[in-house]
Each structure stands twice: as structure tokens, then as C-alpha cells.
Amino acid sequence: MRNNFSLLITISLIALNSFAAQNEWNLKQKGLVWGSLYGDAFGGPYEFQNIKNHYLIKRDKPLNKAQWRELADSVKLVDYKIKKSPYGPWTDMAPKGSITDDSRHKIIFWKSLNNKAPNSKSIAKSYMTHFKINSQYKDWLSQYYRAACFEFDNDHKDALPLQRLWAGMPTQAGQMIYPLNALFYVGNPKKAYLETYKLNKFDNGEAQDFTSAVVAGLAFALSEKSDWSKTSKVIESTDPLGYSKIPFVHRKLSLSIKLADKLVKLANNNPKKLFSMLEENLDAKTWWEADVAFTVSYAFLQMTKDEPLAALALAREFGHDVDSYAQLIGAYLGAIHTQRIFNSKEISIIKDNIQKNYGDVFLEFE
């Protein structure tokens, strides 16, 4: 897979104009990749477990600067205390650094490249290939496999319409699968949005817009001197298909950002208050709807601008689909702050786990 990176460099470095910029981007692209994987491994042990770990979250008071720092310092990988499952870890009581389906989607995406730029047919083929590896992949990918068959060849004997996936519900599937597509469009959020929209065959309805905007934001975050404030504005302002101009309806992404900003402001540095308001204001049925996952992740990043790693701690304490929120948060943290923001020893644990269980993947980012 090392050859894939040479293609990525060719496409992406057009946006960079100095050695210093290239070196910084090298650290940022590693940050995006390993940050996303770190978020997943960090959040996996807490997914739908309703485990409240940190005493600061239990206090119904605003946190001061020192307390936010303490919360950020609490971000550490832990062992799993749950049995294996198709969408979770694939071993009982998995060791810390083990990944879940959020990262396995990215592995399938990356392996689809095969020294070529991403395209929807090759991604579909990669899903079809992985489905046949063993029973664990079959149990996990049963729904995605049918949709992939339809995209690859709609006359395939196992094909079912893409619109059937998750009963047509707009989910965060694309927000798990496509973040690494941002690596090809550094500093070009419009292009990142359009190309992701074209690739995305696993999202329905408004989820297409959410996923494309997420990748657009990551493409900007990979550029020089990005920060969360600038990145958050790019996420909303990147709208090349004119969702915000459609009459009689509102762009759901903009409504989600407006809600998150409002709740963070009302919470006034009080995480417990923010959690309560998210629970009250989000129309969540599964907690992995496209708008829900995005709003939660965005709100935590917005509340922790001065102590970025604390966003992961908020995801852990909030609960629900923790690993999916954390993988998105981790992607943004890494793309903005580079891989230096994460504990290097813990990143090595994740690398070793992936090498052991999934083979040679992401070697370009060593």
C-alpha cells in the first residue's frame, strides 16, 4: 500500500508551496489518520455502556481552566470489559488500543485505493472482498455488502438498492467511512465536498451533505494555520450544491450547527448541563443518526477550544455511540493540531494492534 501514498502526495502537495508547509502537512495527515483511529480505540470500551468515569462531569458547575486541563489529562486508552460483537471489538475483553467498526470501515476504504484515486466502484469491490474473508466480516458487513453489490453491479445476485441501507435512515455511516478522503484535497474544501459526495454510496438523504461537509472541514483543517474556529466555519460555508438555497426547507447541517452553538453557549462551561440539553433537544432514536452524531461531536469540539483533548473526555462521559463521536473528534484534533496532540506510546499500541489483526495498512503514515 505504500505506492498509494505517492499518488496522494502528487495530488495534495499542489496546495503546498514550501518545505515547511510540506513538513507540517506530513504531521497533519498523520494526525488525521491516527487521530481518527485513536478516537475509535479510545471510545470503543464505552460504546453504549453508560459508564461515567470522571468526577468533574458529575458536578453541575462550570469548569475552570485547571479543571478542563484535568479532564484533558484523563484521556487514556483502556481495556475493553465487554464481549466481542460484529460492530465492536472482535475479541472478548479486547486489550486497549483495539478498534471497532468505525476504523474497519477506514481500512476497507484505504485498501480500495490500489494505487488509484478513490472511486465508488473500487470501494464497493473492497467491501465485497472483505465480506468474504471470514464469518466476522460477514456478520458485520451483511447490510453494507448488499449495498456494495448494488453499486458494483446492480444485477448482482446479492444486490439490494442502496436506498434500503438502514431502512433509508440518514446515518453517520459516511462520517465513519470517508474522512480519509480529505487527504487528497488539502486546502480545497469545495473539491473535497464534491468528490466525497460523488464517492458516497452508503448514505441516504441529508447524510450525504453531512458527510461531504465533514470531509470538506477536514480538508481545510489539514492546511496551514488552521484552528477549530476557522474549520467550523468552513464546514458550514462549504455548500457547492446549494443545500442552503433550496426553497421551503432548511439545510439540516446548518440547523445542527446552530443548535450546537446555542447549547454550548447556554451550558457556559458546564458539561453536565450540555449533556442534559443535548439529550432534550436531539431527536435521537439510535444515537447514530447523521445529524445526531455530527451535532454531538461538533458541540464537544466547540466547548473545548481551549483544551482540545477534553473533547474526547466529553464524548466518553456523555455515552451513547462514543466511539463514533470520538473517531470524528480525533480526526479533527489530529488534522488541526498534528499527531503531536496524542500520546505517542498509545498511538504505537494502536499501530501494533492493526498490524497484528488487519495486516499491512496505513504504512504510509508511519
**Residues 133-187 pLDDT 10s:** 999 999 999 999 999 999 999 999 999 999 999 999 999 999 999 999 999 999 9
The residue-averaged pLDDT of 298-304 equals 98
> Which pTM was predicted?
0.94
The domain that contains 15 carries what CATH number?
A: 1.10.4080.10
Identify which of 229, 199, 232 has the alpha carbon closest to the alpha carbon of residue 213: 232
- Expressed as residue numbers, the domain containing 207 is 2-365
3 state SS for 69-138 = HHHHHCCCCCCCCCCCCCCCCCCCCCCCCCCCHHHHHHHHHHHCCCCCCCCHHHHHHHHHHHHCCCHHHH
pLDDT band with cut points at 50, 70 and 90 for residue 8: low
In this predicted structure, what is the pLDDT of residue 1?
Answer: 45
CA atoms lying within 13 Å on the CB side of residue 278: 31
| Cα–Cα distances in angstroms (integers) from residue 297 to residues 57, 74, 179, in the given order | 17, 18, 14
The tally of domains found in the chain comes to 1
* DSSP string of 191-241, one letter each residue: HHHHHHHHH--S--TTHHHHHHHHHHHHHHHTSTT--HHHHHHHHHH--TT
Find the radius of gyration of the CA atoms of the chain: 19
pLDDT at 92 over 90: yes
Distance CA 302, CA 305 (A): 6
Distance between CA atoms of 131 and 330, rounded to whole angstroms? 27
Q: Which three cell numbers stand for residue 252?
A: 439540516
Instruction: Report pLDDT digits (tens) over 210-263.
Output: 999 999 999 999 998 899 999 999 999 999 999 999 999 999 999 999 999 999
